[in-house]
Chain A
Amino acid sequence: GNSVTQMEGPVTLSEEAFLTINCTYTATGYPSLFWYVQYPGEGLQLLLKATKADDKGSNKGFEATYRKETTSFHLEKGSVQVSDSAVYFCALSVPLGANNLFFGTGTRLTVIP
């Protein structure tokens, strides 16, 4: 089946610290991979995506590389800011079948000054 497992939170970091949120997946077919972010009181926003192996998605200083050999899509940022405090969701979609998104349970990040 299709599923996403991501690092459980919450994660608390000091400003300018390095961030890694782990994400691994299982999928039928060749998935596209996504990271979504949900800021307090807001809807889900697409942060970055990758559609094939070894692609690197990047946005706002965040990066994630599609690793087919380890079925992973870990999210990283070199220096977090207070404004990065949010819940981060790893997700996949598979081109065949229902064509919907499968989400992880989310990781809450809090960055303290």
Chain B
Amino acid sequence: GAGVSQSPRYKVAKRGQDVALRCDPISGHVSLFWYQQALGQGPEFLTYFQNEAQLDKSGLPSDRFFAERPEGSVSTLKIQRTQQEDSAVYLCASSLLSFYGYTFGSGTRLTVV
């Protein structure tokens, strides 16, 4: 597609609920990243895929967070047993090469109540 598409745009979850956030990158982009942006902060790296391989998951804050990209295109970020501190905007970005910069989606705003 023309840009990086994320869904849903907004998600309200009750504490303890599982959520799944979807990212549809630009067609042909090999690299895919997930970031977490807390209110008033810069985005923080969560995880990185090159095609279907998850090469770095060092930023995932706990084992409740899980990401996959099984066919090297669409990616899903899953958060199990959501907590209030998980409330943030979750950004997805894709790239051909870091040299060219990254294209970000509009993000999913997750609010845990």
Contacts and interface: CB of A to CB of B under 8 A. Distances in A.
A101 B91 contact: no
A108 to B, nearest CB: 9
Contact of A100 (B56, B105, B106): B56
Contacts of A4: 42
A103 B23 CA distance: 21
Interface stretch (A11-19, A60-68, A75-83, A91-99): A91-99
Interface stretch (B12-20, B73-81, B94-102): B94-102
Contacts of B98: 32, 93, 95, 99, 101
Given A32-B99, A99-B98, A101-B33, A45 B42 contact: no
A89 B104 contact: no
A51 B41 CA distance: 25
B58 interface: yes
A58 interface: no
A89 B102 CA distance: 13
Contact of B106 (A42, A51, A99): A42
A95 B98 CA distance: 7
Given A43-B104, A45-B104, A98 B56 contact: yes
Interface residues of A, number: 24
Contacts of A89: 42-43
B66 interface: no
Nearest to B42: A103
Contacts of A91: 42
B25 interface: no
B59 to A, nearest CB: 8
A46 B93 CA distance: 11
Interface of B: 31, 33, 35, 40-45, 48, 55-56, 58-59, 91, 93, 98-99, 101-107
